[in-house]
Structure 1
């Protein structure tokens, strides 16, 4: 169970997509994936902010 939660978390952090993690984990709902996904999404937010700033240049 812990390995799956880790995979969910890493997938969400790497892709920013709960849907992709849900498909990978074969969860029936994204709500279940969100339950198992750890972290606060800080890394994803930082990447998105950087990409947005870069696109404005």
Structure 2
């Protein structure tokens, strides 16, 4: 999910791509940001890019 988030800024599009509802995507994003102590989505995207996170690392 993190990898896809870094590529898609529109939650609705991401939800459709992952066959989820938008609320689910937003909930996952919010929980990830809380765990990483981030204040905004830009920090999350920067973290994803800096750490070169891919779906393979999340399994």
**TM over 0.5: same fold?**
no
Greater Rg, structure 1 or structure 2? 1
Higher relative contact order (CA 8 A, sep 6+): 2
TM-score using structure 2 length: 0.42
